[in-house]
Amino acid sequence: MQSIFLIFFIFVEYKKKVIIIMRLKFTFLGLLFFVVLQAKDFFKSLENQKLSKTASLVIFYRPDCPYCLKLDQEIEGNFNLSSQIKKNFNVSTVDITTPEGKEIASFYGVSKVPTLIKYDSKNQNFETFVGYQKGDVLKNILFNKEVPKKVNSASICGDAIVEAPEGCDDGNMSNGDGCSNMCTVESGWSCTGTTSICTRTAVCGNGIKEATEGCDDGNMSNGDGCSNMCTIESGWNCTGTTSICTRTAVCGNGIKEATEGCDDGNLSNGDGCSNMCTVESGWNCNGNPSICTNTLAIDDISREGVFNLNIGSNPVTEKLTLHFFLTKKNNLEISIIDFTGKQVSLTKNKNLTIGNNIVEVNFKKKLPPGNYIINLKFDNDENFKIISKQIIVK
């Protein structure tokens, strides 16, 4: 059985990939320009209705990337080019600063922006083009198969190379190690080097509240008000040079107080409200005492090629809406199962396109209130992936 990851090896073998990294130099006006950029929606002129027999084009960008803006303006200002792109491609855009965007960029091996992933007419193989190009060159790349001679691109956080406007880059996308997942230096840290090495600017756990520490109680334990990162934990108040911490609310008394995210009257984990009175991942809690229900704000990342799966709303009354990104054409079968194991709804969707997809499930008849299971079967004829989640019908 062939894995969907064969796409990646095809990507490596293509000879038309040309990447030239140009370091960006910024003036004060350039930095101001970046701040203004962040509110802009990119490549809106390319939005179109998905066609099942049309080749796919995926555009990777970053909101603070000047070359992404120039490419967007080049396309927006050329009506013939944007019309031709919409006519010949199913266009999807991916913001690499979002968690799902970073996952999709990693899947395609994208390391610079702007980057275009151009599929062939059968949506089987693709070519990668990196950087800004003028309209006539871009047209030749997309329709006449001309290889670009010069490209301009901006950095990607996490490639272990500090490039403007990054404050650091330690080669990963983790928070809490001094260099954040947005490649900014975190509070209480100092980072140096082309591949950033980050060190604390204060010594947490020495019993002396220093620099950017919120507290320091002389230990590295969590759950006593001052965390192992010397930050004041939720529901606590810490004072003094050697911090003395006291609770600001009583977790477990069934009354949501002060900084508590919930309080269900117990100190158990796994029921939606944790033993620290914080709402657990995948739950929604309301009321006094807190009543917690499963949510479906899902961050399922499937290495079978299904990304950024979100299902709403939950609880549901009449219909469900599914959002997801596909890296290969797929069929989707959606079944709803009641608590007895009986299938009460079945919906089939064929020839879903590469890129962003939205699928609605309208119930033919109103379902009785209760808990149900939704099964999503993605089938691309080579293998299949089933994802199951709980939903609540009101």
Torsions phi, psi of 6, nearest 5?
Answer: -60, -25
pLDDT for 230: 92
- What is the per-residue pLDDT for 325? 84
Q: Please indicate whether residue 4 or residue 197 has the higher confidence score (pLDDT).
A: 197
Lowest-pLDDT choice from 88-97, 295-304, 317-326: 295-304
Give me the DSSP letters along 271-298.
SSB-TTS-BPTTEEEETTTTEEEE----
Rounded distance, CA 54 to CA 119, Å? 10
pLDDT score of 10:
34
Which among 238, 234, 214, 225 has a CA at the least distance from the CA of 277?
Answer: 234
pLDDT for residue 373? 78
Q: So what's the pLDDT on residue 221?
A: 92
pLDDT of 224 over the 80 cut: yes
Ranges of each domain in the chain: 6-143, 251-293, 300-393
Residue with structure tokens 């977790």? 251
**How high is the pLDDT of residue 282?**
61
Run of H or E including 81: helix 79-88
Provide the pLDDT for residue 19.
31
pTM of the model: 0.43
Residue with tokens 């293998």: 383
Q: Are 298 and 309 in contact (CB under 8 A)?
A: yes
Residues in CB range of 5: below 8 A, 6 or more apart: 303
Residues with Cβ within 8 Å of 328's Cβ and at least 6 positions away in sequence, in order, are 4, 7, 123, 305, 354, 380
Q: What radius of gyration do the chain's Cα atoms show?
A: 25
Report the share of the chain in percent with pLDDT over 70.
Answer: 78
Average pLDDT over residues 195-206: 85
CATH 2.40.37.10 holds for 6-143: no
Confidence (pLDDT) at 297: 38
State mean pLDDT over 269-293.
Answer: 80
- Give the least confident one: 163-177, 211-225, 300-314, 366-380: 300-314
Confidence of residue 22 (pLDDT cuts 50, 70, 90): very low
Question: Rounded to whole angstroms, how far apart are CA atoms 276 and 279?
Answer: 9
Q: For residue 24, what are the CA distances in angstroms to 31, 37, 115, 168?
A: 11, 16, 17, 15
pLDDT-derived band at 3, boundaries 50, 70, 90: very low
pLDDT in tens, 86-100: 888 999 999 988 888
Judged against a pLDDT cut of 60, whether residue 156 lies above it is answered with: yes
Which fold does the domain 300-393 belong to in CATH? Immunoglobulin-like (2.60.40)
